[in-house]
Structure 1
C-alpha cells in the first residue's frame, strides 16, 4: 500500500493532461497542449515530470483481443494450501512468467488470488491450467469463470 509520501500532488493541469493521455497517448505535444489549454513548452515539461515521477508508468497500445486470436477471457480464483508469504511470492513469480495471465491480485477474504487470463480458446486454457495449477502442489482449489460478453473494459485510472 503506498504511503502518503508516495502520492504526488496533482493540480488541475496535471489531471487534464493525464485524462487526455489515458484517452489517447499518441497525441503530439501540440495536440495535447491545445486540448488541455496550455502552452506546448508547459505541457512538455509537465508530461516529463509525470513520467519522471512514475505517475505515467508506461505508454502502450491496447489491442482488440478478438483481432489477434485471444478470444477467451477467464477470471480464476486460486486458493493455496499454504499461505505463508514465501508461498504467495512463489505463486506470483510462477504466474508473472505466463503471458496469458493479464492480471494477478492477492485478495482477502475468500481465495488467495484472482487472475484474469486471456487465451485463444478452451484448449489453450486447459493447457495453461494444467501448467499453472494442476502441477503445483501448493494449489488447493481453482475456480474458473469464463466471460461470455465483455460489456465494459477500461484502462483509465480516475484522476479527479
Structure 2
C-alpha cells in the first residue's frame, strides 16, 4: 500500500493521508454569535469570552513510533486571567520558551475518547515565537494521556482518521 494513502475503516475507500492532525476551531463553550459581543474575541490562537474566560490554542502531540511522525490535536486550554495575560505579554517575545508552564483545563471534547477529554488537567508549555504551545496532559490513566506518554502506531493514526473524516 502507498504510504500516502490508507484504507478507511469507516467507509472502506482509500483516502490520501492519513492526516497527522485534527483541530478544534474554538473552545467548546464558544458560540458563533459571541463574535459580536463586547469582551469576546476568537482568533487563531487566543479566545476570550465576556472578558472573564480565557483560552489559548496549543498542540497535544502523540509520537507515531513506526513512522517517526508526530500526530497532533490542535485544541484549546482554559487559563487563569494572570496566566493568559502573561502568555499574551510574551507572545511575540524571543525567549518566551523559557516561561514556566501554565496550568489549564482542556476546553475541547475530542470525539472517540471515553471518558470525555473535556476538562482534563494540562500544563501549557510556551515554545519559540511562531510555534504553538505544547499541551502536556496530566499523566493519568485517560486513554489520550496514555497515548501522549506512550505514543501510537500508524494503525492508530488510521483509526483516528477514519473516525474523524466522517464526523459531521
- Shorter-chain TM range is under 0.3
Taking structure 2 as the reference length, the TM-score comes to 0.22
Q: Which has the higher contact order (CA 8 A, sep 6+)?
A: 1
**TM-score (structure 1 length as normaliser):** 0.23
User: Which structure has greater helix proportion?
Assistant: 1
Find the structure with the greater CA-based Rg: 1
Q: Comparing both structures, which one devotes a greater share of its residues to strand?
A: 2
